[in-house]
Chains A and B, each alone.
Chain A
Amino acid sequence: MNLALAADGFLALLILGLAIWTIAAHATYGAVVGFVAYGLLVALVWVRLSAVDVALTEAALGTGLTGMLLLGAAARLPREVVAPRSGRGLRLLFQMAVGVLCAGIAAGLAAIVLLLPEPTPTLAPQVAANLPTTGLGNPVTGVLLGFRAIDTLLEAVVLVLALIGLWSLAPDDAWGGRPAALRPRQPGSALVLLAQLLPPLGILVGIHLFWTGANHPGGAFQGGAVLAAMWVITLVAGLTKPPRVDQRWLRIVLVVGPALFLVIGLVGIWLAGAFLAYPEGYAKPLILVIEAALTLSIAAALGLLLAGPPEPVEPLGGQP
């Protein structure tokens, strides 16, 4: 019996069980906790598949950030939602439709994986052959910022669009106010201590993740997520206040990453012959500059997404 196979099989069973438990859980809060644990286990699976970049993203964004958003949503929902008796049949029909659709997607995915031709079509050899032209050591970063840079550019823009969508949920008189979803009620001294101890280390880790992304697993999104987490910890502990959404520097920080990416991509038309192409020999420094700006913008956007829409400006001298 292969020990590694046994461990992988146990991990797969654990994930399936936890997924079923999360769906079946009655309490919203419990379901969110189940989802977070599920995401961490999925990150372990990505590590087992040697996809450390994906594992980092899953842990930071798919689990940490999404889990925090879901926790916030669970906190705003009423504690015990008693379903009305009327319309129970309709709801059952709806749930069954959702279940059938999900099963259909799972079956479709399984069919695609099982019907893949042998050998599986892959672009990996081409990436490996062309990676030296970028000067990078991490093929994932090479694909994300070299060969398929347009996808990453659009992802970065989508984040800004998401934030605009969130901010537009604010009532008119709240415009220009501060986001208040993370306003601490009574942060205990333990939380304040954590918010003082952890950020120096976390900021270092975030910058390291961005910097090491050129040659090792890591990158702008993972680094930005860690930086955003450090900011959010200080917000939750009440050590810092979220910025007013109408401040110019905030807007600049939010768009500097995508804007710089776009400008360098446009300059590539003249200097390298194609949109988002890098001039020969300058690929790595340009990619690092883009990633640095992207890390900053992503960190700000993720933090503000967690901080929620702006709320009405407090009256002068008054505490809410």
Chain B
Amino acid sequence: MTLALTIFTIVSVSLGAIFFLAGTVGLLRFPDTLTRLHALTKADNLGLGLVVLGLLPQVDWPLGALKLIAVWLLALLAGATVSQVLGAAVRPQPGTPYLRTAPGEEPAP
């Protein structure tokens, strides 16, 4: 039983780490702010969620587990809010095509 839980932890945390890696690559490679936000939320939501899920069998129940879940929920809330605020800040005026890029970069196709 312990072995199964350990394996579950390793698999889940590794999957979470992969999402963090993918999110970071996306953050570096994607062309504009909105797509970068998309990449970032994958790391925040799924990556952190899988890491927390994997750690749940390793902490004492219920206090440690509830704290971990609370951390994940708070990160979700913060991530969602920041994405909305940033997205609204870079949203183009109605009628103009979305072409915002960081300075020194090729415009998005």
What is the chain A residue whose CB lies nearest that of B89? A188
Q: Mark A168-198, 1 if CB is under 8 A from B, else 0.
A: 0000000000000000000011110110011
- Asked if A188 contacts B77 (CB within 8 A), the reply is no
Which of A191, A197, A198, A201 has a CB less than 8 Å from the CB of B84?
A191
Interface readout for A198-210 with B: 1 if CB under 8 Å, 0 if not? Answer: 1001000000000
- Set of chain B residues within 8 Å of A190, measured between Cβ atoms: 80-81, 84-85, 88
Ranked 6 nearest A-B pairs via Cβ: A190-B84, A194-B81, A190-B81, A188-B88, A188-B84, A191-B85
- What residues of A have a CB within 8 angstroms of the CB of B88 in the complex? 188, 190
Query: Tally of A-B residue pairs with Cβ under 8 A?
Result: 19
Listed A/B pairs (19) with beta-carbon separation below 8 Å:
A188-B84, A188-B85, A188-B88, A189-B84, A190-B80, A190-B81, A190-B84, A190-B85, A190-B88, A191-B81, A191-B84, A191-B85, A193-B81, A194-B77, A194-B78, A194-B81, A197-B77, A198-B77, A201-B74
Total B residues in contact with A, Cβ cutoff 8 Å: 8
CA distance A198 to B70 in the complex (A): 12
**Bound state CA distance, A190 and B78, in angstroms?**
10
What residues of chain A lie closer than 8 Å to B77, measured between beta carbons? 194, 197-198
In angstroms, Cα B81 to Cα A188, docked, is: 9
Interface 1/0s, chain A 80-121, versus B by CB < 8 A?
Answer: 000000000000000000000000000000000000000000
- A-B contacts besides A188-B84, A188-B85, A194-B77, 16 pairs, CB < 8 Å: A188-B88, A189-B84, A190-B80, A190-B81, A190-B84, A190-B85, A190-B88, A191-B81, A191-B84, A191-B85, A193-B81, A194-B78, A194-B81, A197-B77, A198-B77, A201-B74
Chain A residue numbers with a CB within 8 Å of B85 are 188, 190-191
Kindly state the separation between the CA atoms of A197 and B80 in the bound complex, as whole angstroms: 13
Between B78, B81, B84, B85, the greatest number of chain A beta carbons within 10 A of the residue's beta carbon is seen for B81
- Nearest neighbor of A233 in chain B, beta-carbon distance: B81
A262 to chain B, nearest CB (A): 37
- What separation, in Å, do the CA atoms of A292 and B77 have in the docked complex? 29
B42 to chain A, nearest CB (A): 19
Q: Please, how many angstroms separate the alpha-carbon atoms of A178 and B59 in the complex?
A: 48
State how many angstroms separate the Cβ of B86 from the closest Cβ of chain A. 10
The CA of A201 and the CA of B70, in the complex, are separated in Å by 10
| Cα distance, A96 to B52, chains bound together (Å) | 47
Give the complex CA separation of A114 and B22 in angstroms: 42
Residues of B within 8 A of A201 (CB): 74
In the complex, what's the smallest C-beta–C-beta distance from B22 to chain A, in angstroms?
20
Q: Shortest distance in angstroms between A67's beta carbon and chain B's nearest beta carbon?
A: 14
Which B residues lie within 8 Å of A198 (CB)?
77
